[in-house]
Amino acid sequence: MSKRDTIKRRIKTSMSYKVFQGFNTIFLILLMIVTVYPMVHVVMASFSEGIALTSHKGLLLWPAGNPTLDAFKAVFTNPNILKGYRNTMFVLIVGISLQIFMTSLGAYVLSRKKFALKNPIMFFITFTMFFQGGIIPFYLLIKDLNLINNLFSLILPFVVSAYNLIIMRTSFAAIPDSLEESAKLDGASHFAIYARIVMPLSKAVIAVMLLYYGVGIWNGWFWASVFLRNRSLFPLQLVLREILISNDVSSMTQGTSGADVAVIAESIKFATIVVATVPILSIYPFLQRYFAKGVMIGAIKG
Partner 1 sequence: MKKFVALFLVFVLAFSVVGCGAKTEESKTPENVSGGVTAAPTTNETTQEEFTYPMEAKEFSYWMELVANINQVVTNMSEAPFSTALEKATGAKITYEHPVANQAKEQFNLMVASGELPDIFEYNILAEYPGGPEKAISDGVIVDLTDKLQEYAPNLYKFYQDNPDLAKLAKTDTGKYYSFPFIRGDASLMVFFGPVVNGKWLEDLGLEYPETMDEWHTMLTRFKNEKGATAPLTYEPWMLSDGNGSPFVGAFGIAEDFYLDEQGKIQYGSIQPGYKKFLETFNTWYEEGLLDADIETVNREQVAAKLTTGESGASMGFMASRMGTWIAATVGNDDYNFVGVKNPVEIKGDIPMFSQKDVAINGSMGDTFISTACEDVEAAMRYLDYGYSEEGKKLYNFGIEGESYEMKDEYPTYTDTILKNPDLTVVEAMAMYARSNYYGPFVQRKEYIEQYGYTYPQQKEANALWSISNVDKYRMPKVTATPEESEELAMIMNTILTYRDEMQVKYIMGIEDLDSYDTYVQNIKDMGIDRAIEIYEAALERFKNR
Partner 2 sequence: MNVSANKKGTTLIQKVKEEWKRNKELYIMILPVVIYFFIFMYIPMYGAAIAFKQFSPAKGILGSDWVGFTHFFRFFDGIYFVRVLKNTLVISVYSLIFGFPAPIILALLLNEVRVKWFKNLVQTVTYLPHFISLVVIIGLLKEFTISTGLVNDVFAFFGMDRFPLLQKPEAFRPLYIISEIWQTVGWNSIIYLAALSGIDEQLYEAARMDGANRWKQTLHITLPSIASTIIILFILRMGSLFTVGFEKIILMYNPSTYEVSDVISSYVYRSGLLDMNYSYSTAVGLFNSVMNFILLVVANKLSKRISKTSLW
Note the residues at the interface with partner 1 (CB under 8 A): 51-52, 54-57, 74, 78-80, 83, 135-136, 139-140, 143, 148, 221, 224-226, 228-232, 234, 238, 241-243, 245-253, 255-264, 266
257 binds, among partner 2, partner 1, none (CB under 5 to 8 A by kind): partner 1
Q: What is the number of residues in the chain? A: 302
End-to-end CA distance of the chain: 42
Using CA atoms, how far residue 142 sits from 84, 89, 138, 210, 217, in Å, is: 22, 22, 6, 25, 18
Binding of partner 2 by 35 (CB under 8 A): yes
Please, what is the Cα angle at 131 between 126 and 136, to 5 degrees? 135
Rounded distance between C-alpha atoms, residue 280 and residue 211, angstroms = 9
232 binds, among partner 2, partner 1, none (CB under 5 to 8 A by kind): partner 1
Tell me the CB-side half-sphere exposure of residue 24, using CA atoms within 13 A.
Answer: 6
CB of 162 or CB of 183, closer to partner 2: 162
Find out whether 175 and 201 touch, Cβ atoms under 8 Å. yes
For residue 242, what are the contacts with CB-CB under 8 A and spacing of at least 6?
80
Stretch that binds partner 2, among 69-77, 118-126, 223-231, 257-265 (CB under 8 A): 118-126
Distance from chain centroid for Cα 152:
20
In the stretch 166-185, what mask flags binding to partner 2 with x, by CB under 8 A? xx--xx-xx-----------
The single residue among 3, 55, 61, 130 that binds partner 2, judged by CB under 8 A, is 130
- Least separation in angstroms between CB 36 and partner 2: 5
Binding of partner 2 by 7 (CB under 8 A): no
Binding of partner 2 by 61 (CB under 8 A): no
The single residue among 119, 182, 230, 256 that binds partner 2, judged by CB under 8 A, is 119
129 binds, among partner 2, partner 1, none (CB under 5 to 8 A by kind): partner 2
* CA-based nearest residue to 267, from 18, 59, 23, 68: 68
Binding of partner 2 by 102 (CB under 8 A): yes
For residue 58, what are the contacts with CB-CB under 8 A and spacing of at least 6?
none
The single residue among 198, 268, 273, 275 that binds partner 2, judged by CB under 8 A, is 273
Q: Is 230 exposed, middle or buried (0-12, 13-18, 19+ CB in 10 A)?
A: exposed
80 binds, among partner 2, partner 1, none (CB under 5 to 8 A by kind): partner 1
Binding of partner 2 by 32 (CB under 8 A): yes
Binding of partner 2 by 286 (CB under 8 A): no
42 binds, among partner 2, partner 1, none (CB under 5 to 8 A by kind): partner 2
CB of 51 or CB of 129, closer to partner 1: 51
Rounded distance between C-alpha atoms, residue 73 and residue 122, angstroms = 50
Q: What is the CA radius of gyration of the chain?
A: 26
Rounded distance between C-alpha atoms, residue 165 and residue 104, angstroms = 7
Binding of partner 2 by 211 (CB under 8 A): yes
